[in-house]
A and B are shown apart, each in its own frame.
Chain A
Amino acid sequence: GAGVSQSPRYKVAKRGQDVALRCDPISGHVSLFWYQQALGQGPEFLTYFQNEAQLDKSGLPSDRFFAERPEGSVSTLKIQRTQQEDSAVYLCASSLEGQPQHFGDGTRLSIL
């Protein structure tokens, strides 16, 4: 089966615009994670879902960041009023409970 799918692969937006990033996890994976990877850094945790429940959002850098997974499958990470420091690769990962995470290709977001 297919792995974790993320779209778009690349997104360019002007400062102040809103963006939405999509993650389609591996079928049957109850756990879903979002990470942010700045240039030259390792991925940093943003938020975690177990099915449709957002159990941990402590890594979200500001209230401009919002994530949802309404039906326990596809997840969307939304960033409102984007700023230049939001430029990064956004990675989604999914897993079965207690098993290693499988990562998508990421969305490279550039804010001009």
Chain B
Amino acid sequence: LAKTTQPISMDSYEGQEVNITCSHNNIATNDYITWYQQFPSQGPRFIIQGYKTKVTNEVASLFIPADRKSSTLSLPRVSLSDTAVYYCLVGDENNAGNMLTFGGGTRLMVKP
């Protein structure tokens, strides 16, 4: 399973755009890149998933360069409620058990 590296923490202010970059140098051909968000005392929840180029949904955008060795989660105009831990994962949906490995995540603190 491909391992990921993310910054341990980031600070931002309300209304700013936040970009969290994840490195996954040994990503395999069949691996997808998935981001989860976790609030205190809750389980993680899915934010966005992509394979290459750019993916956008109502919550975030995901940018993936051509070599796929990294990815960037972009949160537009963050609010205080976006304070959470963000996990980057890579995994193969055809892998037995769909196992995804969670690293330490990035703790985002949004300040007023």
B is a partner of A? no
